[in-house]
Amino acid sequence: MSGCTSTDKNSSSNVSVQNTSSSSTDRLLKFGELWLITGYDPANNGVFITEKAIVTESLVGATQDFQLVPLLATSWNQTSPTTWRFTIRDGVKFHNGKPMTAHEVKFSLDRAANISAQNRQFMDFKSCKVIDDHTVEIETNKPNPILPHALHYPNMAIIHPDSLNAQGNFIKPIGTGPMVFDSFDQQTRTFTVKKNPDYWKGPVNLSGMVITGIPDSNARALSIEKGEVDFTVDVPMNEVKRLDELPGINVKTYLTPRVYRMAINFNRTPFQDKRVRQAISLAINRTDIVNNVLYGVGAPAKGIFIPQMEWSNKNLDVLPYDPEKAKSLLKEAGYEDINGDGIVEKDGKPFTIDIVSAQERPGLPPMAETIGASLRKIGIDTKVEVMASAASTDRQNAMNFDLIMVPANIAMIPDPSYVIETWYRSDGYSNSGKYSNSTLDALIDDAKQTIDKKERYAKFNALEAMVYDEMICIPIADYGVTIAQKDSVKGYVFDPTAHDLRMDANMTVG
């Protein structure tokens, strides 16, 4: 992975600048990150600092099949419906040489909950109490059987209080991970880390990394081709074969827990009709998209989870392609082409919509264009708008869209409630279209608080089938991530539980 190009502007005000770049004579890995680096406080930017810079770590880890395993906590148990007790690993030191105890764990979790409503919602956090140096007790507001799953989320990473200055402002991440924060250049937004010589898991192979955000997928491909970076992610799908055939570069594809989906704006009239939502879904040929738009990188969506997940509903098929049925449903809903211009109308008004898409992930723009063409074939006049991710998010937050394409992660918390609750509950954090259904809310609450795993998954399977039928959002394809690296980079192991990817401290670079 690598880093090169750099760009612009405003960085977060609490970002510390330390131009103390590593002087190691060892080879640093140049990592071309997908996003511009805008901050590295784990409570807000945990994905970057915990998974990509690997400076910080969470209490709970996960295996490649999403089973929880100890990390900075060695064990946990539920002592009452709303109380969990965690045993903190002994012998772990922060990067400042100080030992990790329950006090720093409480500090970190209190801070994560106070800083972010999302963090607080995921944990259902009420309080954290130090029992002794290696034991904390966490109380939730309601019974929350998946609190340990929530503590796998990278925003809940553990840091030392010295990460903050005397005024309480975050200045640099002092974590326990295999890499130590070294420097951040605000002008180029280049972030460097170096090897932690005292890592609690043992010796680290990688000497360090130079990480630079390269938001344009074509620029990422060019950077590794020109040798400016050693390692990067999400190169354009149509470049995978060519890059892989270049001497000294190899490209691998992995299925990752992320789904391309279209959120629907329920504040706009046509989409409150289930028949219209189903017609849009039936107009989309998912198999054709995967084969010819994504060049085989990914898989047609069967629902909102990928089949490899233990909790996915195995009875769901790939969402069907049937444009004739789609036209029939539109007609039932009152949309018909009266004037013969190829666009259906209702009450004299043509059915016109927009599809908003971000540009950073290479699969999104061509997929949006293909879906737009498919909708025109059933009589829906469609305008596709591709823009920078930040602008797309602004449109989403302002509810200024009809359909918006999002490559949503589905396993940051390894439990089905993470998606079902955040996407579909009326107050869900990622309920982009503002869907609201009190009956569904009650079913979600019931499933979320169910402790027995078999019963819990059965309830979430039923909920997945329900949202599949209601088409509250429109899944398109399971996400395939491409990793391009130089042949000189050895030992990388992909972690399917990560947001995009988790860097591997056991890599080497020649």
Q: Around 375, how many Cα atoms within 13 Å sit in the side-chain half-sphere?
A: 23
3-state SS assignment for residue 475: strand
Per-residue pLDDT averaged across 486-503, rounded? Answer: 92
Buried b (16+ CB within 10 A) or exposed e, 308-320: ebebbbeebeebe
DSSP strand pairing (349-350 vs 345-346): antiparallel
Question: How does pLDDT run across 166-189, given as a tens digit for each residue?
Answer: 999 999 999 999 999 999 998 899
Strands (E), 81-159: 83-88, 125-132, 135-140
pLDDT tier at 6, thresholds 50, 70, 90:
very low
Q: Tell me the C-alpha distance between 105 and 101, whole Å.
A: 7
Pick the closest to residue 476 from 371, 383, 382 (CA basis).
Answer: 371
- pTM attached to this predicted model: 0.87
DSSP strand pairing (190-195 vs 208-213): antiparallel
Greater pLDDT, 65 or 260: 260
How many beta carbons lie within 10 A of that of residue 506, not counting itself? 15
Per-residue confidence (pLDDT) for residue 26, from 0 to 100: 62
Would you say 153 and 71 are in contact if contact means Cβ atoms under 8 Å apart? no
Contacts of 211 (CB under 8 A, 6+ apart): 1, 3, 31, 33, 37, 52, 53, 190, 191, 192, 193
Per-residue confidence (pLDDT) for residue 65, from 0 to 100: 86
Report CA dihedral (341, 344, 350, 356) to the nearest 10 degrees: -110
Greater pLDDT, 218 or 411: 218
Order of strands, sheet of 83-88, starting from the edge strand that comes earlier in the sequence: 73-80, 83-88, 135-140, 125-132
Per-residue pLDDT averaged across 86-111, rounded? Answer: 98
Question: How does pLDDT run across 325-352, given as a tens digit for each residue?
Answer: 999 999 999 999 999 999 999 999 999 9
Q: Tell me the C-alpha distance between 142 and 146, whole Å.
A: 11
How many beta carbons lie within 10 A of that of residue 303, not counting itself? 22
Per-residue pLDDT averaged across 379-393, rounded? Answer: 94
Would you say 485 and 221 are in contact if contact means Cβ atoms under 8 Å apart? no
Give the chain's mean pLDDT. Answer: 92
pLDDT greater than 90 at residue 411: no
pLDDT greater than 50 at residue 84: yes
Percent of the chain with pLDDT over 70: 95
Per-residue confidence (pLDDT) for residue 27, from 0 to 100: 84
CA distances from 397 to 382, 433, 471 (A): 21, 9, 21
Would you say 470 and 303 are in contact if contact means Cβ atoms under 8 Å apart? no
Report phi then psi at 434, rounded to 5.
60, 40
Q: Which residues pair with 75 in a beta bridge?
A: 87
pLDDT tier at 3, thresholds 50, 70, 90:
very low
Q: Around 202, how many Cα atoms within 13 Å sit in the side-chain half-sphere?
A: 1
